[in-house]
Structure 1
Amino acid sequence: MIMKLVWSPETASNAYIHTVRTCKHYKESSAAEYLSATAAGWNTRMIVETWTRGDPIATSVGLAVAAIHTCGKHVCIVPDEESRSEYEAVMKGAVTSEATEVLIGESAENLVERLSGVDFMVVDSKRREFVKALGSANTSKRGAVLVCKNATQKSIPGFKWHGVLRRGTRVVRSVFLPVGRGLDIAHVGASGGGDLMKLPSRWIKHIDPRSGEEHLFKR
């Protein structure tokens, strides 16, 4: 039997509302809200992100919220002890989650490679070393959703998903969304020949709580 990521609208909605309430004091929280709802909606159990000292924290809060709603694990990779201290201090004041674990290492690639069953991963397109970490991801047998945030500021010219992922990884679909500073999202197929494209398409409505602007995204 081939396992697949299965979409849960109720879980997505709950995570979205939770993130909106938690991130109401942060600027540019629209990406965090969307990613939280997406990670929760797919019922992801291993959520991985990369973060560096000084980066905005809203996305991390949203991913932690998603892990709470899926009873999953949220892992954040930081490059040094200073980043870890700042990250934990800010997160402690934003959301309480025992599901979050912080790993320290200058090479995000090496740390990602040690993690198994990754089914949701977010990296910063502005940082070349973090984008490279995508190629080290050991994705879940159910498939995975991989995200480059700040996609309008990519550090790798001519970025192509097939060019950064490990050989044999099957990109079922990819899409660019004008949320925040751009989200470049790829759905990676389940192992064993499963195909996420066989799932029915859905329209997802996202409303920016500040501007009231409405976006419709087809997944």
Structure 2
Amino acid sequence: MRPEHEWFKPEKLTRYFFAIEALVLVPIVTAIGVLAYSGILFEMNPWVVYVGVGLVVTAFGFVTWWIPAFYRTAAYRLTDDELEYERGVFFQQKTTVPYNRITNVNASQGPLQRLVGAGAVGIHTAGFGGQTGAELTIGGVADFADIKDQILDKVRRRPPEATEGGDTPGVTPKRTTTETEAPELLVELRRIRELLEQGRGT
């Protein structure tokens, strides 16, 4: 259970991201080792080797720096009415999802997440125009199942928000007589009454 009105960090996020980085790095290092063992690497143009290795080292060095930097900016907060998510290394972003817009909450844990003891909670909302999409994902948390139940409990306490056009899903609005239509109905009734009186007179 996460405390309400307090920002909390995805404590397993860095470990999960580093696991993904290692998973990508292993086949690259293996390929370089095979090329070096077979002698093909030494037969290539040295500049090609230097540039290729330089790009790989630069890319993985940047990712290694970015992972903890992103973790320092990522935070979630559960309030009485909405879920908030802040993140961004270079550009700060904030996503706010009201509970009455949430249509589905699911918890998931893949093999790599299970390895690092992490999981994810997907928040889905009713989009405008009849479209449904994932608004945000709470990833890199250990108690993902408890967070899912906590959010669902808040969602069930609130009525669903009206969809585009102001109608509640599954409810057909009743047509009522407006003030502008009332005089027209009176005129029609008077005309019918006059016709009936004329018919009686003849």
Q: TM-score range by the shorter chain?
A: under 0.3
Larger radius of gyration: 2
Indicate the structure whose relative CO is greater, using CA pairs within 8 Å and at least 6 residues apart: 2
**Structure with higher helix content:** 2
